[in-house]
Structure 1
Amino acid sequence: MTTSRGSLRHFLLHGSLVTQIAIGLVLGVLLAVAWPAGGSAVGILGEIFITALKSVAPILVFFLIIASIAGMRRENKTSVRPILSLYVIGMLLAALVGVALSFMFPSTLILRDTAAVNAPGGVAEVLRNLALSVVDNPVHALANANFIGILAWAIGLGMMLRHANETTRDVLHDISRGVTGLVRMVVRVAPIGIFGLVASTVADTGFDALRGYAHVLGVLLGGMLIVTLIVNPAIAGFVMRKNPYPLVLTCLRESGVTAFFTRSSAANIPVNMELCRKLGLDEDTYSVSIPIGAAINMAGAAVTISVLTLAAAHTLGIHVDLFSALLLCVVAVVCACGVSGVAGGSLLLIPLACSLFGISPAQAMEVVAVGFIISVVQDSAETALNSHTDVIFTAAVLGAPDNPAELAARE
């Protein structure tokens, strides 16, 4: 009995979050079908989870971006700079793919808070709201979850603190780690929140919500496949001036599969470093570009942020013009670069992108909760795309070998 209790406790505290979310999702559906009144009653669990996310997200964005920018070092290795440029180009094109698919296959979500949104009336209003949000008082921005203002102040402070002494940067890093740890605690209870959210949603609306989840997941996975099999090879082929697919398929097999199951770009760094070594790349360069890529090269996150943001806009009846969509792509890239090291980290930055269209933090956090529901598959695919892309772009710049598959197979 003691052993069983210990195993259950270990599973709850340290077990796979994907497995727990899947269990919560299934139990929520079963409860809603078997006992609709009970499904509605446990909705409070979903509300608590969403409120907790809404509370911690502004602080996370603020300190994460400050610490990231303040800790940047000027890199003298000239080979790293073109790789970083490819990272940015790749993320921007990934966001464009997400936006294009969202316009072609618009997603509708079931949200509890469907209050009217003061949507921007056009390009001029978007720019006006953006400018006013940027210069908002930082305390007011944090208190009211003005993510554009938070982003602006965080970037500004981070740039200024790049010249601070090492101790100050270490303190910022420690604060960032502390906030990230707090977010991990909130994310750890995601299965309970998702159980309550799914149970109450299915009990109140039937299976329409699940169809909406499946549709947005299909758009996300479709976007990531396009980036993986078309966009990334096109970028690599343009740089290398030769067929990129032997390199792309090798990186998918050797790096992408591992990242899919570990769901962590950071944990996949040793795998990517070893693959670069087998490919005969310059160690002085890939020893820098691979760790940096694990932190900022987040094409999958750019797809996720753009697709879910536009799903929220479509659900709330907000018209998004071309200029606003392009601006969303830029914001999605900035958000993707600031993704935290926790499972579902890209989801926590969706409110920043949603704020472009006047979507309230409460509504945005409901979209984040939907993201956690589909993260059983979405987060794994996103990590696989993010991580193997680091090796592709590094090898493209340094000169990929003609036989990458044979070299990667070496012991």
Structure 2
Amino acid sequence: MEKSPVKKIQSIFFSLFSGLDRQLGLILLGLAAVGFFTFLSASQNTPVQITDELRNLALSFVVMWLVSRIPPKWLEMGAVWIYSLGVALLVAVAVFGLIKKGARRWLNIGVVIQPSEIMKIAMPLMLAWYFQKREGLKKSWDYAVAVIILIIPVFLIARQPDLGTALLVFAAGLYVIILAGLPWKWILPFVAIGVIGILLIIIFGGTICAHDVVWPFVHDYQKHRICTLLDPSSDPLGKGFHTIQSMIAIGSGGFFGKGWFQGTQAHLEFIPEKHTDFVFAVFSEEFGLLGNLILLALFYALIKRGLAISASAPNLFTRLLGASVTLIFFTYAFVNIGMVSGLLPVVGVPLPFISYGGTALVTLGFGAGILMSIHRHRRLVQS
């Protein structure tokens, strides 16, 4: 008996989404819905921006679906080529890239692209491939080689300068190196140095900032961000404006928030970059602490599900790749919420699936697609 049109449509629909992880898909849809409704308020119903955001979200999910159909073995085979292409494009940016707002981050190849975004995916791919090849043979120098693989693109991105993206790429690679079995005796000294450095900045940073001391190896804008973090009121109408206004918005939301479209800080234009980097301040003002707890629960569920998919992956490459991609989602959320709340310096990191954006959403969609691919092909990959 021939199927009815409705059943044919249902059959096509289920075949398109067969094998995808439903839990992960629902979590991502939840985050995208929260992001879109927050964006409606932040953009004040600007039709062009709303259309752009819908297009970006749709493109992100299409990329996720396409990547989910790619077997992890193909990703492993293409890892070196993708990494090499990313580094080559970063070198091209350094030589003849486009300069906007004092930064050389873009390349015109018929269309304008930002090659550093490629490295957010290329870095964990490359290092997961490297440690897969060295499985069972790892020695100390293998980790040194991995660090070199990591440092080259991070250096090229940091000198553009683009501290936010450099941080994310560094974190993506570092997660792979640590998960691959980096000995604790190598990790602890760097943790100790980091803790001591943070304490010194907290104790003496205010004095150094007040006397305008030159900081070695640090750009002026990076120094200003750290000084502003320590004391936003030192430049309330300049470098500290972002932090002060976002903290006011978060605090004024209370427990239940002011209500959708009722945020005064956002609608009176006090929050800068309110639909991109500082969208969390808009969300906090309108939905309050209760909304924040729900949002954090969604991110927790995303990270938990991603790690569960990674843990059940059949070989070292997919386990390292999946865990690194998942922890990148964590890093995005942690850094963005931290900087908007005044706990971390402002570094221009978007909130995953919440902030408006094109390239970042596509990158996040690619990462989600990798997790979907690992889940979908987990029985087909031989360990």
- TM-score w.r.t. the length of structure 1 is 0.28
- TM-score w.r.t. the length of structure 2 is 0.29
* Structure with the bigger percentage of helix: 1
